[in-house]
Amino acid sequence: MTLAATTTALKPPLSFGRAALALLCFALLLIFLIVPVATVIYVAFKDPQSGALTLVNFADFFRNDLFMRSLTNSIWVSAMSVVLATLFAMPLAYITMRFEFRGAILIQTLGVLPLIMPPFAGAVAMQLLFGRNGSVNLLLGDWFDINIPFMEGLNGVIFLQAIHYFPFILLNVSASLANIDRSMEEAAQNLGSSGFRLFRRIVFPLAMPGYIAGASLVFIKVFDDLATPLLLNVKEMLAPQAYLRITSVGIADPMGYVICVVLIAVSLGSMYAATFATRGRDYATTQRGGGGLARRPMKGRDTIVAWAVILFILALVLAPQIGLALLSFATVWSFSPLPDGYTFAHYVRVFGDSWGYISNTLLYSTLAGVIAVIVGSLIAYLVQRSDVRGRMWLDYIAMSALAVPGVVIGIGYLRTFYNVPLPNGQALATFWFTIVIALAIRRLPYALRASTASLQQISPQLEEAAENLGANKRRVARRILLPLMSGGMLAGFITAFATASVELSATMMLVQSSADAPLAYGLYVFMQSPAGRGPGAALGVIAVLIVGACTFVSHLLASREGAGAAAH
């Protein structure tokens, strides 16, 4: 008996359980990520008649004037959104991170607010504020007799996207600036540099890696976005073209798939370019004994200029929220700077008739968040703590979902699961749970990174100590790892929940009936008709409140975690 026990202990620990988990994760990724995306790519290269592999679809794409216009429009809109977002983000980041500035925290918080509102939600509100007959142009017409086409055609998309996504640049550049030791700037000042020269020669180059990361994210997100151009009635861009092809011509038409391949290629290309541009430029220069972040005092005139710039930017970027809030309470609002009257009727209607949108959203986002966090932490655990062969591939595959635009996931699911019947005869592609899975797969990379980060912070010695005291791998995972990771997992869930609740790109393709539709889709439907604007805006405000509350809670959790870590 004793001898037998000794012999077993000498064998490597049995990892059958973890191998099975790895297989399960891989199967999930295979079915719901690899196969749909591969299908999209395969169809793009397939001759619709003969079924043979061909490049003829791509030739058709590049010969088609409409598609070429859409491609150049998409590139133009994405590039200009980056430029405009930079103009919004840079002054906010620099002023709040580098000067003793009262209200810096408030500005940073307000500056991130646009990110939590779906860009399409503000589209109609922005038409009313900045459109041809919007508040701003009415006032400008009265005062100066001019009309600025803020919202005409592509301008509107650029304007809205820049407002929505500029926080990516703000956050990344702020983080970069926080990592630059103050002696870097002081050394330049000591050698005679100041003002804009100091910014151009020292600060901006050092913040470059953060800027590139933020800018490439903005570019990709704008390039892939479907809902904002559609809501502004801009159809000549790539993502809307893919959607329209599939929904109007049918899922057999190859052009939608070709567009998807182009979308993926541009996403991957931008990611690669960003990685390449920042390689070998880790400029984090905070040093031991260094002064850390320096905030310089600001003097009289500079303070006034800084406040003017900041208030102007904040007014612009918060305009969609403000407009949406006004619209949700407005009786009638057209051809006037402000609504004619105010009412609660839209909210009453939304909570009465359209409660289904809200409850669907809460259900889908909760499930998607739970799935993303469970699968994400499983993969993180397997990669970090097991010896399952090929475990790194789980990480690579899950992360590759980052490069897959939502519209591609949607189209891929439609095509792949349309012919997969459920027991009740319904196609899997039209089953509401498919929307949940699409949302979960899209959130998986973020959940995975969060789990990996919290696992990496847990010293393996804590687990070894438990093993030394007689706990097996499963008991260690349950009693040591899970409690220590719970904070990170909860934060990951809340982020996933919040972003899933306003996602539209993938769900737009998959929603088959309004009974199954989430809030974002309902908002889209409402905004199609002038009569639906009020209730649509009310839905939008609810979405903003849900996401806002989630963001607040995750901040609370993060600061509690931080305080807990500091106490140790």
* Polymer length of the chain: 568
**Which residue number, 203 or 537, has a Cβ lying nearer to other proteins?**
203
Residue 427, Cα to own-chain centre: how many angstroms?
A: 29
Q: Whole-number minimum distance, CB 177 to other proteins, in Å? A: 14
Return the number of the residue (186 or 340) whose C-beta is nearest other proteins: 186
Give, as ranges, the residues between 73 and 132 that touch other proteins (CB under 8 A).
Answer: none
Would you count residue 281 as binding other proteins (CB under 8 A)?
A: yes
Among 72, 109, 287, 456, which residue sits at the site for other proteins (rule: CB under 8 A)?
287
CB of 284 to other proteins, least distance (A): 9
Could you tell me if 283 and 176 are in contact, meaning their C-beta atoms sit under 8 angstroms apart?
A: yes
d(CA 319, CA 341): 19
CB of 280 to other proteins, least distance (A): 9
Residue 288 binds other proteins (CB under 8 A): yes
CA–CA distance, 422 with 417 (Å, rounded to integer): 10
Our CA angle for 325, 326, 332, nearest 5°, is 135
Give the nearer residue to other proteins in terms of CB position, either 197 or 560.
197
- What is the C-alpha separation between 407 and 101, in angstroms, rounded? 42
Q: Which of 12, 250, 289, 423 binds other proteins (CB under 8 A)?
A: 289
Judged by beta carbon, residue 185 or residue 463, the one nearer other proteins is: 185
Nearer CB in complex with other proteins: 201/560 = 201
Largest Cα–Cα distance in the chain?
98
DSSP assignment of 486-552: HHHHHHHHHHHHHHHHT--HHHHHH--STTS--HHHHHHHHHTSGGGHHHHHHHHHHHHHHHHHHHH
**Which CB, 288 or 568, lies closer to other proteins?**
288
> Smallest gap, in angstroms, from Cβ of residue 89 to other proteins?
20
- 5 by Cβ neighbours in 10 Å (0-12 / 13-18 / 19+) ranks as exposed
Q: Which of residues 204-233 bind other proteins (CB under 8 A)?
A: 205-206, 208
Q: Which of residues 440-469 bind other proteins (CB under 8 A)?
A: none
How many chain residues are in contact with other proteins, going by CB under 8 A? 25
Interface mask (CB under 8 A) for other proteins, residues 226-265, using x and -? ----------------------------------------
Which residue number, 186 or 387, has a Cβ lying nearer to other proteins?
A: 186
Question: What residue type is assigned to position 413 of the chain?
Answer: Y
By CB under 8 A, name the one of 109, 285, 459, 486 that touches other proteins: 285
Query: Residue 496: which of 429, 456, 451 has the closest Cα?
Result: 451
Question: Closest distance between other proteins and the C-beta of residue 105, in Å?
Answer: 19
109 vs 275 by CB, closer to other proteins:
275
Radius of gyration over alpha carbons of the chain, in Å?
Answer: 26
Which C-beta is closer to other proteins: that of 200 or that of 560? 200
Nearer to other proteins, 58 or 99 (CB): 99
Contact yes or no for 448/400 (Cβ under 8 A): no
Instruction: Tell me the closest approach of the beta carbon of residue 274 to other proteins, in angstroms.
Output: 17
Interacting residues with other proteins between 178 and 207 (CB under 8 A): 181, 183-184, 186-194, 197, 201-202, 205-206
118-139: burial string, b at 16+ Cβ within 10 Å, e else = bbbbbbbbbbbbbbeebbbbbe
Which pair of tokens denotes residue 235?
A: 């159809």
Site mask, other proteins, residues 146-185, x = CB under 8 A? -----------------------------------x-xx-
First to last CA, the chain: 44
Q: Which stretch binds other proteins (CB under 8 A): 287-295, 358-366, 475-483, 496-504?
A: 287-295
Please state, in angstroms and rounded to a whole number, the distance separating the CA atoms of residues 434 and 444: 15
Angle between helices 519-527 and 533-567 (to 10 degrees): 150
Tokens at 502, concatenated: 């306003």
For other proteins, give the closer residue by CB, 185 or 516: 185
Between 290 and 548, CB nearer to other proteins: 290
Minimum gap (Å) between residue 191 Cβ and other proteins: 3
Closest approach of other proteins to the CB of residue 287, in Å: 4
Which span sits near other proteins by CB under 8 A: 48-56, 278-286, 470-478, 494-502?
A: 278-286
Q: Is-contact 206 283, C-beta < 8 A?
A: yes
Distance CA 93, CA 278 (A): 20
Distance CA 538, CA 349 (A): 9
Classify residue 129 as left (phi > 0), alpha (psi -120 to 50) or beta: alpha
Query: Scanning residues 389 to 408, which ones bind other proteins (CB under 8 A)?
Result: none
Summarize as ranges the residues that interact with other proteins (CB under 8 A): 181, 183-184, 186-194, 197, 201-202, 205-206, 208, 281, 283, 285, 287-290
